[in-house]
Amino acid sequence: MARETFHRLFAPLSSLGKVLGIWALLATAASAAIETVPAPADGIYDDTRALSDTSRQALAQEIRALATDLKCDVWLTATSFSTGGLTPRRQAQATRIRWSGDKPAILLAYDRATNVMAFSFSPDLWARYPATSLATTGLEANRTIANTQLTLEERLTNIVHQFAKQLRELETVRLKQSVWFPKEERSSTLVLVGLLIGGAILAALLGLISRARSHSSGEQLLFPDVTVSTRFGAPFGGGHIAEVRTQPPAR
């Protein structure tokens, strides 16, 4: 009788233990999958099953276009469980390195267990774009993922498109800053250069004129030495005759 009572009391606990055990095995299998799965051909790994075939194809096309524009690898992962011992950011970094190695790459990782987005950028991307701008993209993505009024598929789609737009804007700014004379500023730049050259030439001419005037103002003019002979025994009695004609001579 006591044995039957014991079994009745602990039978639900035994069933609960089996459920927890199965859940733990599934969690371990899911978390281990991201660590062993090879790089996906379309750039997307999704074990949450949140993306439909249509959405996955659209996101894969967007990822390929962004990778072409930025000249780097772009990946998207969505996992159901956190891996043991690694934060979502560390897991994203490890996955990016395993899939892309030392190449320029970006990995967008969604962790369903914590409902957070983690981004991992290679050192090339950190050197290419402002760190504050890259950090801002991560903050905006997490604000979007926290909006539970949208489905997970809608949130991931919005994040990818929003992220692609922001990175393209950063790339456009970088390319403009790397050009000495942007096309739209070329005419105004040439006018400014012409004015500067003209001003320099004018300043040089004024300097020469001022220097010549300064030299002439400091020059000393002396009367010539005049030697007057003796005349009728008187020293300096001689002289010079100077004739100044004010009228033409009479004929």
Location of structure tokens 């602990």:
10
Interval 19-32 mean pLDDT: 45
Taking residues 185-210, what's their average pLDDT? 84
| 185 occurs within a structural domain | no
pLDDT (tens digit, 9 = 90+) per residue, 68-100? 999 999 999 999 876 567 899 999 999 999 999
- At residue 26, the pLDDT reads 45
Q: Is the pTM of this model over 0.75?
A: no
Q: Is the pLDDT of residue 108 over 90?
A: yes
Residue 238 lies in a domain: no
* Domain-located, residue 136: yes
As for how many domains the chain has, the answer is 1
Residue 207 resides in a domain: no
Of residues 137 and 192, more confidently modeled:
137
Residue at 107 is within a domain: yes
Range of the domain at 135: 36-178
Task: Note the pLDDT tens digit of each residue in 173-184.
Answer: 999 888 776 666
Task: Give a yes or no: residue 195 inside a domain.
Answer: no
Task: Kindly indicate the confidence band of residue 19, based on its pLDDT and cuts at 50, 70 and 90.
Answer: very low
How far apart (Å, rounded) are the C-alpha atoms in residues 168 and 109?
19
Number of neighbouring beta carbons within 10 Å of residue 143:
11
- Write the CATH number for 168: 3.10.310.50
Out of 24-38, 91-105, 128-142, 218-232, least confident range: 24-38
pLDDT reported for residue 243:
66
- Name the pLDDT band for 23 (thresholds 50, 70, 90): very low
Query: DSSP string covering the chain, please?
Result: -HHHHHHHHHHHHHHHHHHHHHHHHHHHHHHHHHHHPPPPTTSEEESS--S-HHHHHHHHHHHHHHHHHHTSEEEEEEESSPPTT--HHHHHHHHHHHHHTTS-EEEEEEETTTTEEEEEE-HHHHHHS-HHHHHHHHHHHHHHHT-TTS-HHHHHHHHHHHHHHHHHHHHHHHHHHH-SS-GGGHHHHHHHHHHHHHHHHHHHHHHHHHHHHHHHHT----PPP-----BTTBTT---------SSPPP-
Residue 31 has pLDDT above 60, yes or no: no
Is 95 within a domain?
A: yes
* Cα→Cα distances 131→12, 126, 135, 179, Å: 53, 6, 6, 21
Quote the pLDDT of residue 85. 75
Name which of 115, 39, 26 is nearest 73 in CA terms: 39
Average pLDDT of the residues of the chain: 82
Asked if residue 233 belongs to a domain, the reply is no
pLDDT in the model for residue 97: 96
For range 215-222, the mean pLDDT: 67
According to the model, what pLDDT value does residue 218 have? 65
Q: Mean per-residue pLDDT for 102-118?
A: 96
